[in-house]
Structure 1
Amino acid sequence: MASAADRDPRHHTQKMQTRLQETIDHLREDIGKVDEPQLKAMFETAAEVLGGLKKAFSDYEQKNEAAWKR
């Protein structure tokens, strides 16, 4: 049976935000480790996209957007 924490949507959104931030940080750290400009650009683009996804989880949690207020 699922615990109370498992049923709380914020528990899951916060865990996902943490994991997304870890991946964002890893991508940005690796930008300095590679020489290929295209790969650097791909890493930065991926970090930006994941940042947007992390913001969406935060907006859901805080009910900042009209779509999450229903």
Structure 2
Amino acid sequence: MASETDRDPRHHTQQMQQRLQELMDHLRQDIEKVDEPQLKAMFETSAEVLGGIKKAFSDYESKNESAWR
């Protein structure tokens, strides 16, 4: 049976935002570790895309967008 925490959407949105931020941080740290410009660009672009997804979770949580109301 799912606990009360498991049923709370905020618990899940906050967990996802944390994991996305960790991945964004990792990608940006790895930019400094590689020499290939295309790979650096791919890491930065990936981090930016994940930032957009993280924002979508935040918007859902705070009901900022009309789609989430």
TM-score, normalised on structure 1?
Answer: 0.98
Residue of structure 1 in register with 2:58 after alignment: 58
> Corresponding residue for 1:31?
31
Q: In structure 2, what is the Cα distance between the partners aligned to 1:32 and 1:65? A: 35
- Which residue of structure 1 aligns with residue 47 of structure 2? 47
In the TM superposition, residue 59 of structure 1 has moved relative to its aligned partner by 0.1
Cα-to-partner distance string for 1:39-65 (whole Å, 9 max, x where unaligned): 000000000000000000000000000
Give secondary structure in 1 for the equivalent of 2:2.
coil
| TM-score for both structures, normalised by structure 2 | 1.00
Q: What's the % identity of the aligned pairs?
A: 81
1:20 is paired with a residue whose SS is: helix
Equivalence map 1:10-25=2 (5 Å): 10-25=10-25
Shift, 1:9, TM fit: 0.2
Give the gaps of 5 or more residues in structure 1.
Answer: none
Q: How many residues align?
A: 69
- Tell me the distance in 2 between the aligned counterparts of 1:43 and 1:33: 11
Letter in 2 for 1:20: L
Task: Give distance in 2, aligned partners of 1:63 and 1:5.
Answer: 20
5+ long unaligned stretches in structure 2? none
